[in-house]
Amino acid sequence: MGKERTPVPPEVSAEVLFLQDHTCCVCREPGKAVQLHHIDEDPTHHSIRNLAVLCFDDHDRTQVRGGFGKRLLSAEVEQYRDDWLERVAQRRAKADELAVASAEHWAAETKQSFRSKSMIAPAGCLHKSPASTAKSSL
């Protein structure tokens, strides 16, 4: 290789980690420690398109030499990454939909209970009117 590794600019790593949900794009195990992997193996090529979030295990698999099928190839990482980006985006959209739906449901229920309270309220005041104090009203 020969190229010296340079740090990924923080705004690039932040965006990559956000877009890939801080989760290894290959095994997608939540909560695993992750690192950024340069798909083209150029450690100075810090483009968002060139970076994949990988756990240490899967990162090791990109480093394996020889042994057909053992090594995780750049093209594979790229496919996993692209698929994962899409899923993360879909999940977030879905989570938003659910949040909006439950907020609407909550708002509707609140409105309903307001409505039923305001229907009770005037009735509750009726005891002040002489007509409703009559025992025959029950």
Burial class (CB in 10 A: 0-12, 13-18, 19+), 116: exposed
* Phi, psi (deg, nearest 5) at residue 17: -65, -40
Tell me the site size for Zn ion, rule CB under 5 A. Answer: 5
All residues at 6 or more sequence positions from 133 whose CB lies less than 8 Å from its CB, including other chains: 127
Count of CB atoms within 10 A of residue 59's CB? 19
Interacting span for Zn ion (CB under 5 A) from 38-46, 51-59, 81-89, 112-120: 51-59
Q: Which positions from 90 through 129 interact with Zn ion, judged by CB under 5 A? A: none
In the complex, least distance from residue 45 CB atom to Zn ion, rounded to whole angstroms: 21
Give the sign of the dihedral formed by CA 78, CA 82, CA 83, CA 84: positive
Q: Applying CB under 5 A, does 24 fall inside the site for Zn ion?
A: yes
Q: Applying CB under 5 A, does 58 fall inside the site for Zn ion?
A: yes
Give the one residue of 36, 39, 55, 88 binding Zn ion; rule: CB under 5 A. 55
In the complex, least distance from residue 10 CB atom to Zn ion, rounded to whole angstroms: 23
Q: Applying CB under 5 A, does 25 fall inside the site for Zn ion?
A: no
Count of positions (residues) in the chain: 138
Q: Applying CB under 5 A, does 27 fall inside the site for Zn ion?
A: yes
